[in-house]
Amino acid sequence: MQQKEIFETYESDVRSYCRNFPTVFSSAVGSVVTDVDGNSYIDFFDGAGALNYGHNNPYIKSKVIEYLQGDGIMHWLDMMTVPKAELIETMEERVLKPRGLNYKILFPGPTGTNCIEAALKLARKAKGRSNIWALMGAFHGMTLGAMALTTDRTDRKAAGITLDNCTHIPAPYMFPELDTIKYMQTLLDDDHSGAEKPAALILETVQAEGGIYVLSEEYLRAVREFCDKNDILLIVDDIQVGCARTGRFFSFERAGIVPDIVCLSKSIGGIGLPLALCLVKPEYDVLKPGEHNGTFRGNQLAFVASKASLEFMLDAKVEDGVKEREAVIKEFLEENIVKPYAEKGISIRGIGCMWGIEMNKNAMSKAVQQACFKRGLVLERAGRDDSVVKIMPSLVIPMDTLKKGLEIVKEAVDEVMANA
Amino acid sequence: MQQKEIFETYESDVRSYCRNFPTVFSSAVGSVVTDVDGNSYIDFFDGAGALNYGHNNPYIKSKVIEYLQGDGIMHWLDMMTVPKAELIETMEERVLKPRGLNYKILFPGPTGTNCIEAALKLARKAKGRSNIWALMGAFHGMTLGAMALTTDRTDRKAAGITLDNCTHIPAPYMFPELDTIKYMQTLLDDDHSGAEKPAALILETVQAEGGIYVLSEEYLRAVREFCDKNDILLIVDDIQVGCARTGRFFSFERAGIVPDIVCLSKSIGGIGLPLALCLVKPEYDVLKPGEHNGTFRGNQLAFVASKASLEFMLDAKVEDGVKEREAVIKEFLEENIVKPYAEKGISIRGIGCMWGIEMNKNAMSKAVQQACFKRGLVLERAGRDDSVVKIMPSLVIPMDTLKKGLEIVKEAVDEVMANA
Amino acid sequence: MQQKEIFETYESDVRSYCRNFPTVFSSAVGSVVTDVDGNSYIDFFDGAGALNYGHNNPYIKSKVIEYLQGDGIMHWLDMMTVPKAELIETMEERVLKPRGLNYKILFPGPTGTNCIEAALKLARKAKGRSNIWALMGAFHGMTLGAMALTTDRTDRKAAGITLDNCTHIPAPYMFPELDTIKYMQTLLDDDHSGAEKPAALILETVQAEGGIYVLSEEYLRAVREFCDKNDILLIVDDIQVGCARTGRFFSFERAGIVPDIVCLSKSIGGIGLPLALCLVKPEYDVLKPGEHNGTFRGNQLAFVASKASLEFMLDAKVEDGVKEREAVIKEFLEENIVKPYAEKGISIRGIGCMWGIEMNKNAMSKAVQQACFKRGLVLERAGRDDSVVKIMPSLVIPMDTLKKGLEIVKEAVDEVMANA
Amino acid sequence: MQQKEIFETYESDVRSYCRNFPTVFSSAVGSVVTDVDGNSYIDFFDGAGALNYGHNNPYIKSKVIEYLQGDGIMHWLDMMTVPKAELIETMEERVLKPRGLNYKILFPGPTGTNCIEAALKLARKAKGRSNIWALMGAFHGMTLGAMALTTDRTDRKAAGITLDNCTHIPAPYMFPELDTIKYMQTLLDDDHSGAEKPAALILETVQAEGGIYVLSEEYLRAVREFCDKNDILLIVDDIQVGCARTGRFFSFERAGIVPDIVCLSKSIGGIGLPLALCLVKPEYDVLKPGEHNGTFRGNQLAFVASKASLEFMLDAKVEDGVKEREAVIKEFLEENIVKPYAEKGISIRGIGCMWGIEMNKNAMSKAVQQACFKRGLVLERAGRDDSVVKIMPSLVIPMDTLKKGLEIVKEAVDEVMANA
């Protein structure tokens, strides 16, 4: 049987990405992936944000192979192990302390949604309240606790039950005439609002799946102040936009705020190994032994990769590199997308190495995506009606590859707009 | 800072296993793990069932390293890739077809709880009902959808919200006077039972966390018949007890039944790499593209390891080896535990390479565990009040290591019973 | 337009009883109701238990008319009024104290379901737990809080949402082999039962809608003991079976137990005026002012009627009369129903003035009901599949009317069994 | 025991109104109530809106007594009876048809909250959706289904469980800068809003408990249009503001809209007898026989009173009388409250015979209430923080009594503002 046929015959119909990129991939290095027919593709998809340091990053990979070859323990639940100690130490000493951050580290299981579920447990127990506030436009995961926060209608419907204990607050960009901070304060102050005071407010500082909406620094600071004033925890979901994606290791650093709980996953695994970390202020580290568990929360190989990725990130000054790439991407898109197509309603949004081209319609963004793939570029779509073309290269993509990829995007948009 | 201190200072208080085994582990081969001080321990814990083929199984590990060295793509969501094609093909051609099983494979994300959440979505959508029936004594995971099924009281309380859309059915061993199949039928037939007809009934054929309760073949067949008769899906959670643990690759094979959905995780990852698979009869493969997703559902290294583990399992005739070890363990325990201590209420339960010694009290099982650790054996506890000492070695543990471990268990029990 | 046509044209299709008794009723005295065509019917229906003292009981009615004629205040929410003071005083001094009962009285609104909702609030607040245990077979009302306890499948489905925060416990008659007290204790003691400890256990001492199942005194005492031992409130729903229906004013008196909360409605309104009372032990009277409210909780005319009904009940020694009628009914049914039809599976159940003939099939009980109506007797059906013919006359039905009614029942059953 | 003592000793602490009006009331005629000490009070409270036609309205009362004296059937569940036929006919022929309204009548039980629960069932079944949208500021009742819609925080907390399946929408007066119709449309159109499409939107055209907020005709028409466009039912809760309170029998008539379901209670009972009616467009009359039930849904005496009240309302041209009184009240308040105290932030809101003085603080409104009571006037408070003094006299209050009452209000406000 041909490999493509294997998937069509045996894999569940729920499979999704593969339908838009109908080839069988085999290997990948840096920002280039290769399929079984020898075709190469520039990667602006980045494994949905899990490959910030490039495919098979040589430094990280070497540490992983070394560990494997030494018969390092691979899996041992939440026992104490050498790789875990080293990861914790690196995170605390080299990442948190220099940033003035004081968090305990909770290993919630290897996926982002595990991490969100753990954060919700922490917040609910710490505050003794069951409700959580999340923003409209949010994506926080697909297990039931996280899914109650996630706003994508298709995702929610698939739950098959009523999703509760969450109230969705308008995102600040949705109703510009509404001061959404004042709105939240009114929900609390008005004794006839019908609102339940939440244990926590959770947000992504850049709504990725929502359509690459960058929340302003002023807004983030106002949210932090709101939470402080009202005894509500602030959880930042940095799963997709953390790990230097926006130019600083934590996405909230640009606003100068300190969340009570931070959720990390995706690129924290270094080279795509499943890992998630939940950072929590010591005073909210309230779960007793065993109150959250899960088999794979001791994925040692990912600990090794994660430690190596932090070292790489610091030593290679990845944050600075993001800012350089940000300038290139922004300038390119303004010149080649905004200038020609602004009056046709095309716009861009983004920060760091995460940009969106708002095509306004599913069919349009899909056409761009297909035109890119035809030309050797893989990228994803996001947002309302999936109308946003999402440009999310590795943070260490070589400049010429980045430019080549951007040229393809330009050509694709030109082609699509010419036929629109 | 000393490594132990790192954990005490920086890791969340939720950490659990490490408290009973207060040393820092470094490497592991087969059934022996080693700590940083050079102490070695026989492993009857098996990473909670994720290491059926031994730590750093050489065949599996070699495939993993080979893949890494070849710059194989590591992470690519649910795109088509070579390792995924090969895993699917191996599972279908070498595992499912020879057993006469016809399942589609859904990749739900890398953890057992992801897999349960996906199974629940499938069932709820397929049947258009929201309720699920689970057995008292069950453990199915710790994200909110799965946690509603899980029965451990501490786990449930930590949710911080009401867990609903699940009805718990007495396990057959709990009330021997009650025909629990008839009980379930009455819940459906009695129009005043207050029961909601479920989309699915889910069970572990051996309740592991519940205390190593082996459900009888007759019971399993009766459940299958009950589900068929009443248009209810049967989901078997084979996360801990599948992958040959009980002597057949799937734990339900001994009863000759075919579930509608099978959840696999833990040892399906080969050497402890996070992976889960949801096997679903084609007619219930009802989720549309994207209705279940998650970043790490394309953990390529785990696909490689998983394929290799299936090959190993088949080629090394692991199933046969389990039966040999089962005989050894059973005989040993009957001679050395049951015979001397039966009249003091100590009993054993188990199948394959999964046995429990019922010590009846938390303090007793804990004392045995500590006495074992002191003697160089790691094992876990389970069950009501955590009163069961859990013997769960690798399926390929060398016979002499197995016997050595069992001797330690005997000594530990003797010591504890002498002081009781 | 003819009156019957008015209903068919304008009244909602949800109307139910009227479909089985297709005539327009006009007046009623004692145990006889009359329709617009001058036909009279013996009443074994009793307004579903709200007319224990007979239609238009002359003593009660005279007090009501007197009050109306004196321009007594009719409606005044929960202000202090003369009728309310007099009702409270009569209830406390003449009913509760002589029985050694010490309850505060809460006026929850005029319907049984209001009363149940208030009782649930009290219990949940008093114990700080959200779950409630109710028995399979129970009926407790049709607003959402009460409906979660009610077991009738049709009723529940009509909710249109998931009913939660209630666990249904097998009624003691359902699985005779199962000790349901031990079952409940196991749910609490087994830390893997999946059960949530309830704030309260609620029951009807005789399940009326469930099919006239009389719970034994031993069972009731065991439940009381179980609740005491486990810090769970016991709520007795005496809405249908209180007010002397079973031979004592409170149905639980026969078992010598004292519930923590008692719900009264139906005949507490004297002559069918809407009223409900919630009796609560002082230590559980925990709702603060306004935490339960409702416009019609000060139905003064019903207070007047209620006080008069208590006086009538006591002065006319209604409790004694119930026992006399019980003997008559029981003897008649045993002679005329059980003796001839026991071997065809027909059986009886009951106590006081509340009896059921188990016809085993909806079609059979319906045929009996129709054959009765044809002969001038109104009675209702109840139970699983509505298969029980329900004999529920006024407690003061004249003996000859009672016998006449029973004769009709006999004829109807004979006719139906002859054609079966 | 003194009567006051009876309440303190035996009545539940949940009692509320009586605390602000500490006297025992005995009789009442028209707009004057009298206590046991012979003190008389003008009534601006109106039994919370259940006494629109005055205490012991002579016409209505005469019909009630006549019926009682004729041994009319008092209680007969949902059987066909003469009083029910006559009420239906009067409502259809004299109220609905002349207004061009075509509704079926559902008898949901005698309280407003029963009616809301029935309306929710109808809507959920008709549309197959579980969510309901209600406005912030709303009060819809105190049983669990209705309570999920009610916004008062104290009421909600008393539920003791999570209230779900309801989303609260900002009332139009809360955020003047926000177009709340557009807001609702965005919740539906934005596939990442996280909002569940509701079966129905429910509102009071004048939020009474919320603080006498009159929703504009434009808003009401826009809501109707929004519901039509989006296949959502519109339920108007006319329990407090119907029955001519606002100048037209139905409060929504002023906006020229036709709701899909109308909930009536309170004054529909004529002289304070418990009654509720649910009016439903024939196409949404989807509940099958028995899917909603309740013992007291056939309160015959209330049917008699209700019919008489409709006759009275029409024959006495009550609607016109409301408009005359509206003019008097409005002019008086503008002259005596707004003019002197507007700059101190005191304002008024209202329509028909329902007005509120916004005192901005609980302590202030309470002081006014007590100052009124001292002077022989009973009135209630409402709104956020209970800061609104509520002027709600009978619709047929004699003009001089009305003016006398208003003078007392003026004096009370003067006194309170002088001390402020």
Q: Report the Cα–Cα distance between both ends of chain B, in Å, rounded.
A: 40
CB contact under 8 A, B190 and C164: no
Q: What is the pLDDT of residues A397-410, one digit of tens each?
A: 999 999 999 999 99
The answer for residues whose C-beta is within 8 angstroms of residue B119's C-beta and 6 or more apart is: B108, B200, B202, B235, B261, B263, B278, B280
User: What pTM value is reported for the model?
Assistant: 0.97
* Closest-CA residue of chain C to D29: C71
Distances (CA, A) of C394 to C55, C109, C208, C308, D336: 8, 25, 15, 17, 60
Q: What is the pLDDT of residues A149-174, one digit of tens each?
A: 999 999 999 999 999 999 999 999 99
Residues of A in contact with C161 (CB under 8 A): 162
- CB hemisphere CA count around A342 (13 angstroms): 8
Indicate the residue of D1, D161, D292 with minimum beta-carbon distance to C14.
Answer: D292
* Closest-CA residue of chain A to B23: A80
CB contact under 8 A, C161 and A161: no
pLDDT of residue A115: 97
Among A240, A239, A287, CA closest to A392 = A240
pLDDT of residue C420: 84
Side by side, which strands form the sheet with A388-391? A347-351, A354-358, A388-391, A380-382
Among A50, A4, A86, CA closest to B300 = A50
Q: What is the pLDDT of residues A13-34, one digit of tens each?
A: 999 999 999 999 999 999 999 9
User: Residue A187's Cα: distance from chain center in Å?
Assistant: 29
User: Residue A298's Cα: distance from chain center in Å?
Assistant: 22
Min distance A10 CA to chain D CA atoms (Å): 31
* Closest-CA residue of chain A to B127: A160
CB contact under 8 A, C186 and B174: yes
The answer for residues whose C-beta is within 8 angstroms of residue C287's C-beta and 6 or more apart is: C106, C118, C121, C122, C125, D12, D13, D14, D158
CB contact under 8 A, D150 and A193: no
What values do phi and psi take at C376, rounded to 5? 90, 30
Residues of D in contact with C114 (CB under 8 A): 111, 113, 143
Q: Is pLDDT of B420 > 90?
A: no
pLDDT of residue B1: 81
Q: Is pLDDT of B312 > 90?
A: yes
Residues of A in contact with B107 (CB under 8 A): 11-12, 15
* Closest-CA residue of chain D to A176: D178
Indicate the residue of C183, C195, C385 with minimum beta-carbon distance to B168.
Answer: C195
* Closest-CA residue of chain C to A162: C162
- Residues B387 and B319: their CA atoms lie apart, in Å, by 29
In a mutational test of the D interface, the residue from A152, A192, A202, A203 whose CB has the highest number of chain D CBs within 10 Å is A192
| Tokens read off for C420 | 């079966």
CB contact under 8 A, D78 and C15: yes
CB contact under 8 A, C89 and D154: no
For each of chain D's 420 residues, which pLDDT tens digit applies? Answer: 889 999 999 999 999 999 999 999 999 999 999 999 999 999 999 999 999 999 999 999 999 999 999 999 999 999 999 999 999 999 999 999 999 999 999 999 999 999 999 999 999 999 999 999 999 999 999 999 999 999 999 999 999 999 999 999 999 999 999 999 999 999 999 999 999 999 999 999 999 999 999 999 999 999 999 999 999 999 999 999 999 999 999 999 999 999 999 999 999 999 999 999 999 999 999 999 999 999 999 999 999 999 999 999 999 999 999 999 999 999 999 999 999 999 999 999 999 999 999 999 999 999 999 999 999 999 999 999 999 999 999 999 999 999 999 999 999 999 999 998
Low-confidence ranges of chain C (pLDDT < 50): none
Min distance A157 CA to chain C CA atoms (Å): 15
Min distance B192 CA to chain D CA atoms (Å): 14
- CB hemisphere CA count around D79 (13 angstroms): 27
Please report the ipTM that was assigned to this predicted complex.
0.97
| Tokens read off for C159 | 């909710």
* Closest-CA residue of chain B to C150: B194
Among B387, B369, B393, B378, CA closest to B210 = B387
C79-101: burial string, b at 16+ Cβ within 10 Å, e else: bbbbbbbbbbbbbbebbbeeeeb
The pLDDT-based confidence of A1 (bands split at 50, 70, 90) is confident
Round the average pLDDT of chain B to a whole number and report it.
Answer: 97
In a mutational test of the A interface, the residue from D147, D166, D192 whose CB has the highest number of chain A CBs within 10 Å is D192
Indicate the residue of D10, D82, D110 with minimum beta-carbon distance to C104.
Answer: D10
Min distance C164 CA to chain A CA atoms (Å): 12
pLDDT of residue A420: 84
Q: Which chains touch A (3 or more CB pairs under 8 A)?
A: B, C, D
Residues of D in contact with B162 (CB under 8 A): 161-162
Amino acid (one-letter) located at A408: I
Residues of C in contact with B193 (CB under 8 A): 136-137, 151, 153, 168
Min distance A210 CA to chain D CA atoms (Å): 7
Min distance B382 CA to chain A CA atoms (Å): 12
Residues of D in contact with A210 (CB under 8 A): 192
Residues of C in contact with B183 (CB under 8 A): 170, 175
Min distance B149 CA to chain C CA atoms (Å): 8
The number of residues in chain B equals 420
Q: What is the pLDDT of residues C160-189, one digit of tens each?
A: 999 999 999 999 999 999 999 999 999 999
| Tokens read off for C365 | 């009980």
The pLDDT-based confidence of A41 (bands split at 50, 70, 90) is very high
